[in-house]
DNA sequence: GAAATACATGAACAGTTGTTCATACGTTGA
DNA sequence: TCAACGTATGAACAACTGTTCATGTATTTC
């Protein structure tokens, strides 16, 4: 579910002060987005795909997790539109959905290593 | 620190900017950082403080939560160094720790509203 | 077609998380 | 000092999350 509040535009952003308080639903979506990044397995998957598209089995081997666990987490990453996949024979080749994901990861890492 | 994967089999660093697979511990820290942003109450608190330092009671009233719940979450935000506080009489005035927090929130919101 | 491969999915379980309730702590003003 | 206020904290509980195990589905090869 990726519902975006369509009927709520708060004040104009663009200052050291953002709008006061975004719509409740938007805040839920924001929390949900961060939640996807908040698990180690999913972070590992994202980093495994950082610059290399991989099959599910490849991911599992790379990060040292079972195929099932990876598949479960890929479902969540897919729902959040953080990864996408193409078919190659019987394999599904996953990759990061767009550069936004790179940015989010880099931003977080940047904060950690300040 | 700048720890790169220790026991990685193969690596193909081609993307400008980031290593292939960071150290396990760093990935845990990264997941933990995102985890702090992954709760609605904490997101509300951060937005309540986005451009206005506030006391605990003020925060609670602003976001519509109990004082206790807010205090519990502030402890987590403090531990993550996302907020700081100054004393004013018997009140504790909380504010965002630094601009990194603004950036993280904005980045996430940016992704949501793409 | 059947077997094999690659992946997805459901149920169940343990571990974690956030809230409420009650209470303790610390500061202020009389 | 004491009472009142603002905040922190611990325990308990319900809700959620991620893993494993078993099985199902889809695609390819024989």
CA of A85, closest CA in chain B: separation in Å?
20
Asked if pLDDT for residue B41 goes beyond 70, the answer is yes
What does each C-alpha distance from A86 to A82, A90, A96, B12 come to in angstroms? Answer: 14, 11, 11, 21
Contacts of A108 (CB under 8 A, 6+ apart): A37, B30, B33, B34, B104
Nearest to A43 by CA among A79, A91, A96, A1: A96
CA distance B40 to B95: 18
Nearest CA in chain B to A22: B47
Q: Which pLDDT does position B71 carry in this prediction?
A: 98
Q: Which pLDDT does position A22 carry in this prediction?
A: 84
Across the interface, whether the CB atoms of B21 and A44 are under 8 A apart is answered yes
Of B21, B33, B102, the CB nearest to A112: B33
Q: What is the mean pLDDT of residues B49-56?
A: 97
Asked if pLDDT for residue B9 goes beyond 50, the answer is no
Q: Which pLDDT does position A10 carry in this prediction?
A: 37
Q: Which residue has the higher pLDDT, B97 or B114?
A: B97
Q: Which pLDDT does position A114 carry in this prediction?
A: 80
Q: What is the mean pLDDT of residues B15-37?
A: 82
Nearest-CA residue relative to C1' of D22: A68
Of B12, B14, B34, the CB nearest to A37: B34
The residues of chain A scoring below 50 in pLDDT are 1-18
Contacts of A112 (CB under 8 A, 6+ apart): B26, B29, B30, B33
């Amino acid at each position: 579910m990726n519902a975006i509040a369509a009927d709520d535009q708060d004040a104009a952003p663009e200052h050291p002060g953002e709008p006061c308080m975004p719509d409740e639903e938007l805040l839920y979506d924001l929390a949900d987005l961060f939640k996807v990044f908040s698990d180690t397995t999913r972070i590992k998957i994202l980093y495994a795909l950082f610059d290399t598209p991989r099959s599910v089995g490849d991911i599992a081997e790379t990060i040292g997790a079972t195929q099932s666990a990876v598949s479960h987490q890929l479902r969540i990453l897919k729902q959040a539109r953080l990864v996408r996949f193409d078919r190659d024979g019987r394999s599904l080749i996953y990759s990061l959905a767009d550069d936004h994901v790179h940015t989010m990861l880099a931003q977080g890492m940047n904060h950690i290593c300040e």
